[in-house]
Structure 1
């Protein structure tokens, strides 16, 4: 048996010629009915993972592992030859990988750089090889989302409420009184599920709302997994018996979002957020400030009501328009419902308003702009209060805050989100078989992509699932069992994000009958 690293030093037939030929549209078809494959695996960054094999053929003499969809030397991780008891490594070996005797691959301390498609070649007698594909998904640990409401004290049949879940995760669900929210006809979710609007509000809407974010390996809710420590104690704070917090001699370092946890019976907890606003530019007094959350949780029987959040002083909420862009584009973060009498604007990156998150400020009267630590040389605060960011990248995505400074020394604060996406890469569609017999065979098609939104096309139109067709939970795998003559045709998978989309090359399915 010849392995890549061994044959590279000899003048025999190059090992690349011995790889199984793979044709552009038909792809490799397994020799057995049960497909040899790598079990797709999901992990949290920092974990050790094992990429297991399924349906390993008999009489295997060794294994060759690659990172990526090509079986080239530059993609080689390592080889294991049973006959010689030798383990050789390639350019993609990072020191964290190990091939086990059963052919599985261990990767220690995985990072997001490890995610993607992997290929394993099982080396058989007579220099034959069987190739399997699989995917490793690596996720960063979830951050606790922030839930903000436009108002939490409303009048039935008169007012509306808008709740916004600020998070970097794409999978968002809403809870009402700790159970999955059932949308009523008066409720509307935004396309990305980050914003819940109730209009008008009725008495049955009163209660506790949460947003829950998740990825395939973990989940967290708005206020779970919050740990409070004493590291932020400055010697100037005191908690009163009514739950309020006294801060003596406040300064600009004290401003930002504060959180309070109310501990209830049965180990239940309620969390509230509030703003402390300190503006040295406008001469804010710093002798004594008293920060109070609007109300403590009220328990009526078993019903727990939502803590009050910061409530904007106007009916139409001042905010930043949520914006999506492709990496490399110039974007403008616009504001809406700007209050009258504005004398200037201050922009921050993130959910805190402090010096370290300051991008820039603009005084309209003097048209003087000041820059902060978050200024990268690509941002401009415009006269209408919008923020221009040139050549955005994925590091620019997240929550932004704009402060509208009014002539009467008041301020209004708006939140918004910038989503930045990389251009969508063309997905790769592989089929277990492309020539099948009607009512006897089954076919499995797998769409390899890094995108989360996957749709299927049949003869260039949207695929209508029949009762014999089944999609996996992530929509990346389509199974047809059994195949019938009406299933013959061209299949494609289409992947997209909010700003771009692309399709795979077609795979043509032939049905014999």
Structure 2
């Protein structure tokens, strides 16, 4: 005789029909609720966490139990666990992140804000009666590791490691935030995508590299996009460009300046003139200051030179042009009235703002009409404002968790943590967010009690938050 999956009695839920495959049940009657409790581990749950809804005092001799999101209705069931056959049946709201254990506990991975709400555990005994229904409320906090942190985008950037290298050494041009679904990447010598300046291209799918016209035999590209340059020479100094192409033909590019210590350049040909270089003074400026783009080794046979905003020497980007023959300066379209050009090639920018940050190009013309182009980059920073230190709770019991967040409206800043007026020494119980703006301690111990502060700083200024005191109790 075939058993129907529906239970023809009032008060039964349709999911109980699944248990007929294991045991023939009688009609349901609500029994006395057992003293079942549910504990959230950890107590404070943030977006991205994993949480265990740990069940205590699970009744004995159960046939099954089920977890529900919100109400104990079939459409809200997360999973059913048939204990006598050790079978887990996912429900309609099972997202693939939930795991049910035989002791009744529910493990949820990679929590999101949508997981906030009531969770109910229902237990069924071997006679088919509902033994208990226990409900708890799970609150998922916004992840302060990112919420309120200084805004940053996953923009492609390059870091020179080390920042300045001696001749004969090696340098790694380290790529950060390489795009997903990368198809191919290109490295160029300089800031413009000329084929003749291509050092190497790397095909991601095949993990293979093809040398370009500017490859010297000393360059190696890694699968993470970084470029290793060995046995550096003074001729290697200057800008390098990384260009990436990902699926959907999305193209990104980033530049980095390789600085070679001039004092190490001992093998240069004395008959060869020193290379044309530009030094920003200061390298990192504060808004309202002046910046001098100081030119070194300007050729003696100079006929004229021009300054451009950006990396392209196009008339639309010209700031000014100097003619030695006419001993005159002609202003370009990008001249704002704050620039002063000197006959030694240098350019002074007064009252700079963040918009003045970026690349500048100097193009010179000698007496035989040969042109040489070089580039420079500098940064303008705003003074940082005082950050605000937030905390999930100022009084917490031992073995719980606490999360601090250093909130700032400024961009391009770094965060440093202070505990009891000293630099915070991280332990294995402490986790920092990727930008250091979030600090989590889990589990909390008595020695974590004290005064916390955070510092926000950039290359030109530093501000410290007001202190927050953490009290740790025994319960």
CA distance in 2: counterparts of 1:469 and 1:406, whole angstroms: 61
| Structure-1 separation of matches of 2:284 and 2:405 | 29
Matching of residues 385-464 of structure 1 within 5 Å: 385-407=345-367, 409-438=369-398, 440-449=399-408, 450-451=410-411, 452-464=413-425
Structure 2 residue aligned with 1:318: 276
Q: Secondary structure at the match of 1:334?
A: strand
> Which aligned pairs between 1:70-469 and structure 2 lie closer than 5 A?
134-135=147-148, 142=155, 171-173=157-159, 189-190=162-163, 197-201=165-169, 211-214=174-177, 223=186, 257=192, 259-260=194-195, 270=210, 316-322=274-280, 323-364=283-324, 366-407=326-367, 409-438=369-398, 440-449=399-408, 450-451=410-411, 452-469=413-430
* SS at structure 2 position matched to 1:134: coil
Partner Cα distance (1:398, 1:132) in 2: 30
Deviation at 1:198, TM superposition (A): 4.5
Q: Does structure 1 conserve the Cα–Cα contact (< 8 Å) formed by 2:414 and 2:456?
A: yes
Cα distance in structure 2, aligned partners of 1:264 and 1:172: 16
**Residue pair 1:443, 1:480 contacting (<8 A) in 2 also:** yes
Determine if contact 1:270/1:297 at 8 Å carries over to the other structure: no
Deviations 1:80-118 (A, max 9, x none): xxxxxxxxxxxxxxxxxxxxxx999xxxxxxxxxxxxx9
Cα distance 1:382–1:326, how it changes in 2: closer, same or farther (>3 A)? same
Aligned residue for 2:316, secondary structure, equals helix
Deviation at 1:363, TM superposition (A): 2.7
Report the Cα distance in structure 2 between the residues aligned to 1:408 and 1:484, rounded to whole angstroms.
Answer: 76
C-alpha contact (below 8 Å) 2:307/2:319 kept by paired residues: yes
Q: 1:473 aligns with which of 412, 424, 434?
A: 434
Maintained 8 Å contact 2:173/2:228: no
RMSD: 4.9
The Cα shift of 1:386 comes to: 1.7
Structure 2 counterparts to residues 47-62 of structure 1, below 5 A: 53=113, 56=116, 58=118
Q: Distance in 2 between matches of 1:424 and 1:374?
A: 29
Q: Using the TM superposition, give the Cα deviation of residue 456 of structure 1 relative to its aligned residue in structure 2, in angstroms.
A: 0.6
| CA distance 1:103–1:264, shift in 2 (3 Å) | closer
Distance 1:434 1:264 in 2: 51
Deviation at 1:403, TM superposition (A): 2.5
Structure 2 residue aligned with 1:162: none
Provide TM-score, normalisation by structure 2. Answer: 0.51
Q: TM-score, structure 1 length as denominator?
A: 0.47
Cα distance change, pair 420–488 in 1 and its aligned pair in 2 (3 A):
same
Gaps of 5+ in 1: 1-30, 41-50, 60-101, 105-117, 121-130, 143-168, 175-187, 191-195, 227-255, 273-292
1:400-430 Cα shifts (integer Å, max 9, x gaps): 1113444554444332102122332322211
Shift of 1:391: 2.4
Hey, what does 2:84 align to over in structure 1?
none
Task: Give the deviation of 1:210 after TM superposition.
Answer: 5.5
1:483 and 1:294, CA in 2 relative to 1: closer, same or farther beyond 3 A?
Answer: closer
The alpha-carbon distance between structure 1 residues 502 and 54, as it changes in their structure 2 partners (threshold 3 A), is farther
Q: Distance in 1 between matches of 2:305 and 2:353?
A: 24
User: What is the SS of the residue equivalent to 1:424?
Assistant: coil
Is the contact between residue 334 and residue 386 of structure 1 (CA under 8 Å) also seen in structure 2?
yes
Deviation for aligned residue 1:321: 1.6
Contact 2:298 2:344 in 1 (8 A): no
What is residue 243 of structure 2 aligned with on the other side? none
Q: What secondary structure is seen at the aligned counterpart in 1 of 2:385?
A: coil
Cα pair distance change 1:405/1:464, threshold 3 Å: same
Once the two structures are TM-superposed, the CA of residue 369 in structure 1 deviates from its matched residue by 0.9
Count of equivalent residues: 304
String of CA shifts for 1:417-456, please: whole Å, max 9, x gaps.
Answer: 0212233232221112222344x33321112234441111
Cα–Cα, structure 1 residues 479 and 140, in superposed 2: closer, same or farther, change >3 Å? closer
Q: Secondary structure at the match of 1:457?
A: strand
Distance 1:385 1:457, change over 3 A: same
CA-CA distance at 1:257 after TM superposition: 4.3
CA distance in 1, matches of 2:202, 2:471: 64
Q: Does the CA-based 8 Å contact 2:401-2:442 persist in structure 1?
A: yes
Contact 1:456–1:493 (CA<8 Å) still a contact in 2? yes
